[in-house]
A and B are shown apart, each in its own frame.
Chain A
């Protein structure tokens, strides 16, 4: 193996935001191995102080363009819990429907645009256009379908508009509901083709068991709502998250580090799959089986496959939701429930595409925020990413420096980190003594 190795990838590309990979090996001893996050701090917890209950969902959606629907709903649910608001079944179903399509959009972007180039030996999706045009076209069609779904229901594909505390300011028309169903049905052919392509990929074999955290529900494959579940055997109400999840500030990262039962845990598609696979649609289960994804799965690289399986599930479940909603049609009178401000604390927990997302607000009697705490999935994964890197490096240490660098980048990229969002110039320094 290389006696000395000094790899610094700054920034990591094809991730949302800015992270650097730092590896330093001296005399065959790992001196330093970390995912450095110099991403600009945003201070949303400060920005929210004093804002009226109508605003936090529009403000926090701007934490991340890629998971703006997840932030919108973590925020709305926190506010509704604090103000004691219960929404009706129609609102709930429409919320699940729009929520599914951020998952489809984001998972598609990651699997096809950000991760796939590595597996096809390409530098980016731009190179893939030449070598695998069919893959790029499928990705564009799936993304468009999902973005159009979010736009039809929420008024805009990024930072939705009509999704507010209490319900919706505008409902899709009957025509749009059937249009969405047609769009969903049309996606299956592309999923079939994708399955064939994915079956040909050789994902690295790397297993490291860890604690898997996600939300869970008795009926649904939980994305929009549920209790927090750990693979270490506990389930808690979302509002009690502080009793299990701890966070701290570390010097090399503007994103805080988190841990729960052990020294690290994983959130995201693989955690959801491991914790809730039995709630997936039958079709999604079949796809998982075809692709060799079985719960519990400890291979970090299989996150990519779990994300693809979730696309299938979301499309299946969306058709079911539209059918249920259209039995009696959408009722304008049930679009929104009335809201009155009051003092209180509320916690909103959802599954963002990248994993567990928690908003925790305390309101004063006028309905203005006194205190806000936000826990972001990528932060929750940081310690686990570093532990994966430490476990994976010895397995690949005999490879060339270029291969090591690429393998480590792929490992980090598998987590689909959303470091939203800054960029640098690539700086790779190799030391050979």
Chain B
């Protein structure tokens, strides 16, 4: 693909993924020369409805999000979900767990009728997604790698092995030995094991690998005298929209 036209869009989310693109600093100018960014509301005023690739940040949490996403899906040839909110529904799924109507009542009280809010879903619930840049936030390298691969016409390589492998390679002390829980055994690598390296258990913000070794996870829980419930709360942080607890149980 020669210089592709790219649109960068945000649905319901924190804007952090779009910020990670601006945070490319060393590579930002190269990226701007390699692609033609025609839509990026957070950063530029010019805008267009003519793009080949759409990068979507955020989950679908309002009717308005759903309409916009379907509109973008009709135009873009390639859809890339960027970040946990777009890929798995992310932290916004906690709203579903609380209950959408109950949440509207709690935050907006008797004015809840003014509020457009629906059950949170990842974007794949509405459009076909070609590639996923996972994580909260995704790594800058992965976003760039996906775009670079598309420009040179190859399929981006996304790790399908667990965070544990990256973590071991770095020689970290296992966070279970620090008395904490960790989802690194079943979560998708590619983040460089950022959280365990900083002394915090993996929160599975990149979702699970395709075929997680659920038995190994269970063995670890037994070894450290923990239950599935002990890790499920944490797992719901970014995966509340998926019924992954069924898999582990």
Contact = CB atoms under 8 A, between A and B. Distances in A.
A157 B20 CA distance: 9
A126 interface: yes
A383 B220 CA distance: 54
Interface residues of A, number: 64
Given A11-B41, A45-B107, A424-B68, 17 more contacts: A40-B11, A40-B61, A43-B107, A45-B106, A46-B106, A55-B233, A62-B16, A64-B15, A65-B137, A113-B22, A124-B45, A136-B29, A143-B22, A158-B16, A169-B200, A170-B197, A425-B49
B226 to A, nearest CB: 14
Interface in A246-303: 249, 251, 254
A223 interface: no
Given A13-B44, A157-B23, A159-B137, A126 B49 contact: no
B3 interface: no
29 contacts: A13-B44, A14-B45, A17-B15, A40-B11, A41-B61, A41-B104, A41-B107, A43-B107, A46-B102, A46-B107, A47-B95, A58-B237, A59-B94, A62-B90, A65-B15, A65-B19, A68-B14, A109-B22, A123-B45, A126-B32, A126-B37, A144-B25, A155-B195, A159-B16, A161-B195, A421-B13, A421-B57, A422-B12, A423-B10
B213 interface: no
Interface residues of B, number: 66
A158 B137 contact: yes
Secondary structure dominating the interface of A: loop
Interface stretch (B111-119, B124-132, B182-190): B111-119
A421 B15 contact: yes
Interface in B15-35: 15-20, 22-23, 25-26, 28-29, 32
Task: Identify the interface centre among B37, B58, B103: most chain A CB within 10 Å of its CB.
Answer: B103
B103 A46 contact: yes
A39 B148 CA distance: 32
Interface centre among A17, A46, A52, A123 (most CB of B within 10 A): A46
Contacts of A136: 29
B198 A41 contact: no
Nearest to B199: A169
Nearest to A63: B14
B217 interface: no
B24 to A, nearest CB: 9
Interface string A120-142: 00011110010000001000110
B18 A65 contact: yes
Given A59-B237, A249-B108, A159 B117 contact: no
A161 B23 contact: no
A156 B140 CA distance: 11
B9 interface: yes
A117 B40 CA distance: 15
Contact of A143 (B23, B46, B117): B23
